[in-house]
A and B are shown apart, each in its own frame.
Chain A
Amino acid sequence: MRLTGRRATSFPGLVALRLSPSLLGRLGRQLKKCIVVTGTNGKTTASRLLAAILAAQDPQEPPDAWIHNAEGANLAQGVVSALLEHTDWRGRLQWTRAVLEIDEATLPRVAHDLPVQWVVVTNVFRDQLDRYGELDTTVRKILEGIRDMQATVLLNADDPLSRYIGLTAGRPAVYYGMERGMAKPPERETMRDGTLCLRCGRPLRYEGFFYGQLGVYECPACGFARPSPDFMGEYDGASLRVTGGGAPARFQLPVRGVFNAYNALAAIAMARLQGVPDSAVEEALRRYRGPLGRMQVYGTDPASVLNLVKNPAGCDTVLETLCGEDVDKVLCIAINDLAADGRDVSWLWDADFERIPERGRAVLCVTTGLRAEDMALRLKYAGYPTGRLEVVPDPDAALDRSLEAARAHGVPVVHVLATYTALYPMAEALRRRAAAAEPAPARAAREGERP
């Protein structure tokens, strides 16, 4: 039972789980190697990078010799879907190695069914509070999951919440982190989750930050502190130098931003732990294509760039990147509040949209989606002039308006930000407009925009 079409990724598994709740266990037991990637942000990118690297080890094998679940299909039924795709009619797995991206809240539910040897935790940020209750619940879920596995954990040393997991999970832990020289003092006084010591409740003291709550921290009261990383990364905006688990080496990254450098570091560290040679890592990074919504460039007129936003930390990294581009731009922000987006849009107020009026060079902001008005209000209170703010609830119309305004202002780029359920329709709409724009003068603009 295999459905075709990109957006049906979780469907066969959902049916299978309903028919037979023990299916995950029956399939999972057959795995000889199982690596799980979890955490708040970056698990899709980190797990895809890792799967690509592991698959590149042996050029004789087909690229799907490592089972890997499709983007976003990271709940129990998504894992079953991925396994079912590689199962013959007798219920036997054709391949017995897997890299699985698993949602934090799902981790305890699948822990018993999968023979997990390694768990990678990308980070623990405030994410979709309405699904999990509150932040401490996320930490607890990951801990619960890990305790039920006979696994070694690969953790982010720079994230105090991950460090807490490492100290209390009772499993062997290996750490990756960035070179402390990269840490910078905070730009603005912001309250971050995890800035209180999870052990004793005192505020943590930071020597510097990498991004969000990730930094060089210690608790002045109880001695809780950033461990020295086993795998150290040094990122220069394009390449990542990795020290640890082998000779130091520099890798060109196919993804941009510090947050993605962390994802790459986690994947490379795990690859080294699995004994993958650097040449295979390089090859995989060279061929890697990113998942949807991570800075895709479309050849519309003018060019547009699509980004997924879903929580404050992830959104801030996107805002930081686009505000760092020193050109005029139009922003089109699509906010939905369906279950997969998180029904509570409070998070918009914790993200640093103040950057846009401060130095975003946005000549126009068009807000759209089910919560278009909330997004417009957020920008108004961020200090963005209401005269250059338009609410267009219909996403297609909003996109047309954004492109048209960009052309009228002679602006070279439209940045589209979308929450999860708005992402696919936006990508589709952009693809159609890009196809219609060929071979218009847009081509030159797009080539110029490509990273």
Chain B
Amino acid sequence: MLNLYADRGNVQTLLRRCEWRGLHAHVTPVRRHDEVRLRDYHLVLIGGGSDREQALVAEALRRRRREWKAAVEDGLPVLAVCGGYQLLGEYYQLPDGTKVPGLELLDLVTTAGRPRLIGNIAIESPEVGTVVGFENHGGRTVHRHAPLGTVLRGHGNNGRDGYEGVRYRNVVGTYIHGPLLPKNPRLADFLLSLAAAYAGVAVDFPPLDDELEWAAHRAFLTRHAGVRGPR
């Protein structure tokens, strides 16, 4: 597992859910100047920092753009959140019009906007059901791929089209944090199963005791979206 500035909660969720099933996972945190060989990894997490940090990360990653593109086309599972999500696209346009180039892995662009889109968000995903969390982004993102889901409550990609996130091959991009994975165990296991398949490891994912996870998920849905949660 490769960790580029990802939320600690997401990394921890994936690690624990492997551990509880007796699987071994190794995490490599990456700093800006570290050299990374993508083919050594089965899952990549990209988080985001401030605009400034994000521009620095983008600049460093772009030098290996072709390697990234090949890996993603080959099915490398990627979870990109917030700034990391924006980074997957062509560019991020700052308020002054400057375009910070992204990794150009997806047909996706982001433009800074006002006000920031902030608040609790719930979406419905065809692959993993409801996904809940918090969003806080100035950027408005549009893309030509499938979304991760449709917005039940909140703003989503751009506050206009009712979609949130992106799905392309084994890439999942989203603005949802809070962090994303602890309260959304189906999505966490979905990513792990993608990683296992990509690694060529034949493992099944026996269900875990997710009582607390679903309690948090359900509490969120009833309180914020007026939707009754799964189970």
Contact = CB atoms under 8 A, between A and B. Distances in A.
Contact of B178 (A189, A191, A346, A370): A346
Contacts of A267: none
A377 interface: yes
A377 B184 CA distance: 11
Nearest to B138: A133
Nearest to B213: A377
Interface in B1-59: 5, 7-9, 12-13, 16, 29, 31-33, 49-53, 56
A144 interface: no
Interface in A378-436: 378, 380-381, 383, 386, 389, 391
Given A203-B31, A381-B13, A349 B8 contact: yes
A236 interface: no
Given A196-B56, A377-B213, A346 B7 contact: yes
Contact of B212 (A130, A189, A380): A380
Contacts of B49: 134-135
A345 B136 CA distance: 12
A381 B9 contact: yes
A370 to B, nearest CB: 8
A376 B214 CA distance: 12
A381 B5 contact: no
A391 B215 contact: yes
Nearest to A367: B212
Nearest to A386: B212
A136 interface: yes
A134 B138 CA distance: 10
Most-contacted residue by chain A among B13, B32, B219 (CB, 10 A): B219
B182 A378 contact: yes
B140 interface: no
Given A130-B118, A135-B50, A136-B50, A381 B134 contact: no
B119 interface: yes
A374 interface: yes
A346 B179 contact: yes
Contacts of A346: 7, 9, 134, 177-179
A137 B7 CA distance: 20
A349 B7 contact: yes
A373 B9 contact: no
Nearest to B3: A191
Contact of A377 (B53, B116, B136, B183): B183
Interface centre among B7, B33, B178 (most CB of A within 10 A): B178
Interface residues of A, number: 32
A129 interface: yes
A147 to B, nearest CB: 19
A201 B58 CA distance: 12
A376 B213 CA distance: 9
Contact of A134 (B12, B50, B212): B50
Interface in B116-143: 116, 118-120, 134, 136, 138
Nearest to A351: B8
A343 B120 contact: yes
A378 B8 CA distance: 11
Nearest to B56: A201
B178 A345 contact: yes
A183 B136 CA distance: 35
A96 B49 CA distance: 43
B216 A373 contact: yes
Contacts of B12: 349, 381
B58 to A, nearest CB: 12
A374 B223 CA distance: 13
Nearest to A344: B134
Interface in A90-140: 129-130, 133-137
B212 A196 contact: no
B219 A373 contact: yes
A310 B7 CA distance: 18
A196 B52 CA distance: 10
Given A130-B118, A201-B32, A373 B51 contact: no
B39 to A, nearest CB: 25
A350 interface: yes
Nearest to A196: B53
A238 B9 CA distance: 35
B231 to A, nearest CB: 14
Nearest to A198: B52
Contacts of A376: 212, 215-216
Given A135-B50, A201-B56, A343-B119, A191 B177 contact: no
A381 B216 contact: no
B179 A349 contact: yes
Contacts of B51: 134, 136
Nearest to B181: A381
Given A136-B50, A346-B134, A377 B216 contact: yes
B16 A381 contact: yes
B136 A344 contact: yes
A311 B177 CA distance: 17
Q: Report the 6 A-B pairs with minimum CB-CB distance, sorted nearest first.
A: A349-B9, A373-B216, A136-B50, A134-B50, A201-B56, A344-B134
7 contacts: A135-B50, A191-B8, A201-B53, A201-B56, A344-B134, A346-B177, A391-B215
Given A349-B8, A374-B183, A391-B212, 9 more contacts: A129-B136, A134-B50, A189-B29, A201-B32, A346-B179, A373-B219, A376-B215, A376-B216, A377-B216
